[in-house]
Structure 1
Amino acid sequence: MASLKSWLPIPKSSHFSLANIPFGIISTASKSSPRPAVAIGDHVLDLQEFSASGAFSSLNIDVAVFSKPTLNDFAALGRPVHRSVREYLQEVFAENSTHADILKNNSSLQDKALLKRDQVTSHVPMHIGDYTDFYAGKNHAFNVGCLFRGPDNALQPNYTHLPVGYHGRASSIVVSGTPITRPNGQILEAPGSKVPIFSPCKRLDIELELGAFLCKGNTMGKNIPISEAAEHIFGYVLLNDWSARDIQAWEYVPLGPFLAKNFGSTISPWVVLADALEPFRTKGLDNDTQLLPYLQEKEDKNVYDIRLQVDITPAEGQETTNILNSNGSNLLFSFPQMLAHHSIGGCPMAVGDLLGSGTISGKDAGTEGSFLELSKGGKETIKLNGGIERKFLQDGDTVTLYGVSGNEETGLVGFGECSGKIIPAPKI
């Protein structure tokens, strides 16, 4: 892939190279109303101001979508429109742009529309009507299964036949940088206990995931065919599905996660378009099971080579530790397969719906996507810098997820940060 160079200075280490152009929602101190923007290097381009100048006049789109407080209306225009807007913005920022007068040579518009990224506030980029979290990280499912059932019965019989999932809570999805309150709930205080106590969660965990936003829905009663599912995906974010493991252990039988999962999920603020990740398609985990026809894809490169990383900062001013590294290729099912399965019974999906991948763990030590796996269910300690140890998260801990594809020579395509700090549970 050829390098894309810009007239705007972009650090080589930036996740937001000209090869990316991710979309988000911002506000500023001088203008508090949320509106769409794209990230490029250390800057953002305010698309409301940019479109008001007539800069999109060469494209046949309704620029009113760039004055909305979410990306839903823009997403609903469809992937061909997303593609044309992204390619046009790449040309506007290109080193030898044929549209130099639009922005490069227009200092007045630059002052209004080209803002420093550290001077804007990011918001949840889409109105999320529904959120479904899957369990497509086979290594994670196996690791957790081993903890509770042993290696011979780690995976349930249905696991390789379909994308297992559960319905999450859209109302508690927050953007990176939002504090996460430790939840209260019922837990079993000691091994072998059969009577719960009411307590703040003592085994608070993370889950390293990717999320996919939808740009197209379906009518109730009609499914989304696997051959069309990719066109329904707007783009991707990092997702940390915070988990209260002790609350989960007591409540999940017989209906699955509830309070252990509904107190908070954090996403990165910039939606990386599906087209931006196309060069990084790769093969996922092998599945020897013969899938039913509605889940069979023609393309075997159906996931993405995204380098994933999780860091923890124990408290303000203390040293940060990289605790794990994984890859987006560690999935058994692709997002199109998740969507095809989700809708096969006629469930109506909608623009802005969010699908989570499930925890993305590798096979090797240090690639596990949760503290539950890293600490072997709390039996081992995780060594942090400065002699600090953890088994699960403590109050004041800040966890940051990163994800990036490509290299500095051709331009990185990444998500930026997905971060949250744990604050104490309320006294009840």
Structure 2
Amino acid sequence: MTVLRRVFARVGSLVPALRWALLGFCCSTLGNTAFEGSVVPFLIVVSLPVWVLAARKTFMTVIDFFSPVSAWLVGKIGGFRALALTEGVEGVLSVIPLCVPVSSPAWKWVLFALSCALLVTGQVIDIAGEVFEVDMAGGDEKMLVDYGGIIGVLSSVLGGLIGSPLGAWIASWSVPAVLVVSAVSSFAAASTRLLSRTAVNGGNGRRDARGSAADDSMRIAQIAESVEAGGQPPLEEGPDVRVRDGVGKRADAGSRTRAGLLLGSLLLALVPASAFSYVYVLLGLGDRYGTGSLSAVYLASGVGEVVGAVVYAHSASRKGMRCMATLGVLVGAVGLSLMLVFSHVYPLMCAAFLVEAVGSTMLVHAVVVSRQILFSGKDLARFSGRSRFMYAAGAAGGSWIGYALASSWQVLPLVALVFSLGYVFVVPQLPQARA
């Protein structure tokens, strides 16, 4: 509890624009995860065929490959406009099924179409959110790291422990209620984006070592307005600030750094998809110990995500991204080793999933925040799109590898350990200096 208090105490150090962005993230995450948690229950309630689950999963993978298009859109109209408009569109889409009579045969298919459409808007929101957060932070690296840590904790708690179970529960008694929750949360999130922009333009800044609060606010506003207009962010001056180049990219983000971050995005999907995903290992565990045993595994993973997010939030500012990623790889490797050795001992397998989730959560946050530190504006949007394309490639390739070895699911953690060796080339490319 002391660590959590220290993490959330950092909210006061954020500029008002990021505080509103934090509230917007909470609304968006809670609404989206509640809808995702409701998907399977509402498919059962409205009697849609089982194949739509596979179709939706395939559609999700296909959409991931089009992430560069979403990145182009964000770069074209700016993070603020893309984020606010897309969240508004999500709200409108969630209202449409409410206009169709529940007794109509088309109603259930409208729900299925909505679930697919929200996958598209979600991708745009994810990319735009990264750009928007960098804009609102005004290039302050420490603030970005602190914000990312708080976001990590909130994402784990609101998503894994609250949102998905809440959505499943609501859908079990009223599918229209889920749509109302989704629409309200989307409109609320879009409203906070406007408040963030107002806070920036209204002169609310944070006093720091580089000048007064008013000067800091003006600097943030200039960066945000320049990026929104499709231009170049202004050069920052001072011995303690890294100079940007003409396309909004940190001067030290060279080709090796870009390649390392792209490889990291690939591995973040390839490792779990091919080895310890919630498909093959869980199917094996369910067959051996019964389907009821899987609830403990899910819970262990959820707890591990929260622990990993809290550790990252507490230590990232002091340790830096490279150190946190190294720790994440090592902890994840311990979890995979436990899976490999103790696949026949159910309690230890639950512990293994918890440990692995701790490591993978720290690693994911370190990679994502690293690209926010190293890139900005259009360059960040483009690079985020490429990263998500690599993530989709890793997920698709890993799924086929896992499928080929599914009959020998006990050895899948070994495959993950082998692929994890690729992080040796990724970690050195992450920012070393503490924020």
**What TM-score results when the alignment is normalised by the length of structure 1?**
0.25
**What TM-score results when the alignment is normalised by the length of structure 2?**
0.25
Q: Which has the higher contact order (CA 8 A, sep 6+)?
A: 2
**Counting strand residues as a fraction of each chain, which structure ranks higher?**
1
